[in-house]
């Protein structure tokens, strides 16, 4: 039987405000000594009163607007009651009945097709403390307790593990463009849970869903969802029933494992938080935030295509990271003054520059080659001072901090465009490679590439390859070319 998977994603994103959601403690806890960013409010002492962090609300509104949500003029905080050692008050302050952001959407691209994922809601809440297990003991660090958390929930519009992964990548990019979260999954600043069900492909009823937790990398999201879909299909194929349970992803075993069955499903006994007033936002406030939003990835990609004429696939790669897009635009500005076109700049960034940065583990913001430096190099390639292959070597050497011109000069790399010199080399190669010449005359086209290659070698890569090809053809007696450009 054919099955269809249906997936909804919940993301918890930590907002990178200076202070916590309801107190003045620093929200920056990573790497801090345990239990040093704490006070009576975030430790849950009786009688301590919470105060709403304005900046956190501003950040949440930014995210809501970027996700095309309606922003509620009136929302409210509730108490979500459950008992766990990392929750000092015995409840989490969260928005339940009246969330801040509702009914949004985000577009993703999967296998060349654009797809819209609806956002059900995005609401404000506070993070829990962190538990560490040490032998028989459990240790709790309250530094994270009360850090602002935004929960973003999709509609069940996702139908494959790859779509889920693309959605999360897009969401991370948006959060980073807005500057409201590091959205770093490995550090827990963006945490993901997936609700997964499968049903017969021809049925419009959804199957029983399971919830998969502990997904802390894009890779585990993809693997866990694929695993869970296959697990559920196997149960249905065997005539069984999927149970509504919470699963955890075990990265080492590469499988989902049961965490909680339905019998233990929580009843959170939500009720309005009596210590906080409802959150009322004026239209003016919301519109001011909207007006201050940065250009978002989709809009930026469309603009890069329309203003610079680069390929849409390249634009999609460049805008995946705001720093990369910024580098590209700076390089294009410098390049245009040097008659280098934007597509060439894009090719070199997405290709050679990315490869060299990855190899060395350097972020583009710290690239030793500046956008202007790259434009200088490309201008030398464009003018024909050096060929593209030599250009790649020069780019690698530019990581030491020298300019393209200095390297070309010092190493005597300038391309040989002198027809007389190249003719002499071609003549020599023809004389030394009678076999290849004979093969070429006999109709073997690849022999020509070999001969051109020999000239390139004799010139230590400096010959202008187009010119060598022309001269070689001329010297081989103008044998008509097959018309296929094999250079
Ligand atoms: Zn505090
Ligand atoms: Mn939550």
Rounded average pLDDT over 138-148: 97
Ligand that lies nearest to the alpha carbon of residue 24, given by its number in the listed order: 1
SS (HEC) of 129-195: CEEEEECCEEEEEHHHCCCEEEEEEECCCECCHHHHHHHHHHHHHHHHHHCCCCCCHHHCCEEEEEE
The pLDDT assigned to 305 comes to 98
Distance, C-alpha 389 to centroid of its chain: 30
pLDDT digits (tens, 9 = 90+) for 419-432: 899 999 999 999 99
Q: pLDDT confidence of 483, banded at 50, 70, 90?
A: very low
How much distance in Å is there from the Cα of 122 to the middle of ligand 1? 24
The pLDDT assigned to 486 comes to 44
219-237: string of b/e by CB count within 10 Å (b at 16+)?
ebbbbbbbbbbebbbeebe
Asked whether residue 482 carries a pLDDT value surpassing 60, the answer given is no
Rounded average pLDDT over 315-327: 97
pLDDT digits (tens, 9 = 90+) for 215-253: 999 999 999 999 999 999 999 999 999 999 999 999 889
How much distance in Å is there from the Cα of 132 to the middle of ligand 2? 20
The pLDDT assigned to 214 comes to 82
Residues in the chain: 487
In whole angstroms, what is the distance from residue 397 CA to residue 407 CA?
Answer: 8
Considering the chain, what percentage of its residues have pLDDT values greater than 90? 83
Ligand that lies nearest to the alpha carbon of residue 38, given by its number in the listed order: 1
Round the average pLDDT of the chain to a whole number and report it: 93
Ligand that lies nearest to the alpha carbon of residue 144, given by its number in the listed order: 1
Asked whether residue 485 carries a pLDDT value surpassing 50, the answer given is no
How much distance in Å is there from the Cα of 96 to the middle of ligand 1? 23
Sign of CA dihedral 449, 454, 455, 459: positive
The pLDDT assigned to 445 comes to 87
How much distance in Å is there from the Cα of 230 to the middle of ligand 2? 27
CA distances from 416 to 98, 422, 425, 458 (A): 72, 8, 11, 12
Tokens 């602002």 appear where?
A: 148
| CATH 1.10.10.410 domain locations along the chain | 419-476
Asked whether residue 83 carries a pLDDT value surpassing 70, the answer given is yes
How much distance in Å is there from the Cα of 42 to the middle of ligand 1? 4
Report the CATH architecture of 419-476. Orthogonal Bundle (1.10)
Rounded average pLDDT over 146-151: 98
Ligand that lies nearest to the alpha carbon of residue 128, given by its number in the listed order: 2
How much distance in Å is there from the Cα of 124 to the middle of ligand 2? 8
How much distance in Å is there from the Cα of 141 to the middle of ligand 1? 13
Residues 6+ apart with CB under 8 A from 107: 114, 115, 116, 117, 170, 298
pLDDT digits (tens, 9 = 90+) for 159-175: 999 999 999 999 999 99
How much distance in Å is there from the Cα of 312 to the middle of ligand 1? 47
The pLDDT assigned to 368 comes to 97
Rounded average pLDDT over 316-340: 95
> For the chain, first and last CA: distance in Å?
51
On the CB side of 392, how many CA atoms lie within 13 Å of its CA? 11
In whole angstroms, what is the distance from residue 374 CA to residue 357 CA?
Answer: 13
In whole angstroms, what is the distance from residue 455 CA to residue 441 CA?
Answer: 18
Rounded average pLDDT over 274-291: 97
The pLDDT assigned to 264 comes to 57
Asked whether residue 478 carries a pLDDT value surpassing 80, the answer given is no
pLDDT digits (tens, 9 = 90+) for 439-456: 999 989 889 999 999 998
- Tell me which residue of 160, 142, 170 sits closest to 11, measured CA to CA: 170
How much distance in Å is there from the Cα of 127 to the middle of ligand 1? 12
Q: What kind and span of H or E run contains 200?
A: strand 190-200
The pLDDT assigned to 348 comes to 98
The pLDDT assigned to 484 comes to 47
Ligand that lies nearest to the alpha carbon of residue 150, given by its number in the listed order: 2
How much distance in Å is there from the Cα of 460 to the middle of ligand 1? 67
Asked whether residue 487 carries a pLDDT value surpassing 60, the answer given is no
pLDDT digits (tens, 9 = 90+) for 116-137: 999 999 999 999 999 999 899 9
**Coil, helix or strand at residue 207:** coil
CB 173 within 8 Å of CB 324? no
């Amino acid at each position: 039987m054919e099955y269809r998977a249906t997936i909804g994603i919940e993301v918890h994103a930590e907002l990178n405000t200076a202070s916590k959601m309801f107190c003045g403690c620093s929200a920056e806890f990573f790497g801090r000594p345990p239990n040093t960013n704490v006070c009576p409010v975030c430790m849950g002492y009786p009688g301590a009163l919470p105060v709403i962090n304005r900046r956190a609300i501003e950040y949440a509104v930014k995210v809501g607007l970027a996700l095309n949500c309606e922003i509620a003029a009136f929302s409210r905080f509730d108490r979500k009651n459950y008992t766990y050692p990392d929750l000092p008050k015995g409840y989490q302050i969260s928005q339940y009945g009246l969330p801040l952001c509702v009914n949004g959407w985000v577009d993703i691209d999967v296998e060349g097709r654009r797809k819209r994922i609806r956002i059900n809601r995005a609401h404000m809440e506070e993070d829990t403390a962190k538990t560490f297990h040490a032998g028989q003991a459990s240790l709790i660090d309250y530094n994270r307790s009360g850090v602002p958390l935004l929960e973003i929930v999709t509609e069940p519009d996702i139908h494959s593990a790859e779509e889920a992964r693309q959605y999360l990548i897009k969401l991370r990019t948006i959060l980073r463009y807005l500057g409201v979260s590091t959205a770093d999954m490995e550090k827990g600043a963006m945490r993901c849970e997936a609700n997964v069900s499968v049903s017969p492909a021809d049925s419009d009823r959804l199957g029983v869903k399971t919830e998969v937790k502990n997904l802390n990398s894009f890779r585990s999201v993809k693997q866990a969802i694929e695993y869970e879909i296959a697990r559920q299909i196997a149960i249905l194929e065997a005539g069984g029933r999927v149970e509504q349970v919470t699963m955890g992803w075990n990265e080492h075993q590469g499988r989902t494992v049961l965490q909680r069955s339905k019998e233990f499903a929580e009843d959170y006994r939500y009720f309005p938080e009596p210590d906080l007033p409802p959150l009322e936002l004026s239209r003016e406030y919301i519109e001011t935030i909207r007006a201050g939003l940065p250009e978002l990835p989709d809009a930026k990609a469309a603009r890069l295509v329309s203003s610079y004429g680069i390929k849409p696939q390249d634009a999609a790669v460049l805008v995946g990271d705001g720093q990369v897009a910024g580098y590209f635009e700076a390089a294009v500005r410098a390049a245009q003054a040097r008659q280098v076109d934007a597509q060439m700049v894009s090719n070199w960034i997405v290709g050679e520059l990315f490869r060299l940065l990855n190899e060395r583990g350097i972020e583009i913001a710290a690239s030793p080659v500046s956008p202007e430096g790259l434009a200088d190099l490309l201008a030398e390639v464009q003018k024909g001072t050096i060929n593209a292959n030599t250009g790649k070597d020069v780019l690698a050497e530019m990581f030491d901090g020298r300019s393209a011109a200095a390297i070309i000069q010092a190493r005597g790399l300038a391309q040989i465009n002198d027809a007389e010199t190249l003719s002499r080399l071609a003549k020599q190669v023809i004389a030394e490679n009678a076999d290849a010449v004979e093969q070429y005359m006999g109709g073997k086209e690849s022999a020509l590439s070999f001969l051109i290659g020999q000239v390139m070698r004799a010139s230590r890569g400096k010959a202008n390859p187009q010119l060598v090809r022309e001269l070689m053809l001329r010297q081989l007696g103008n044998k008509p070319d097959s018309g296929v450009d094999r250079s």
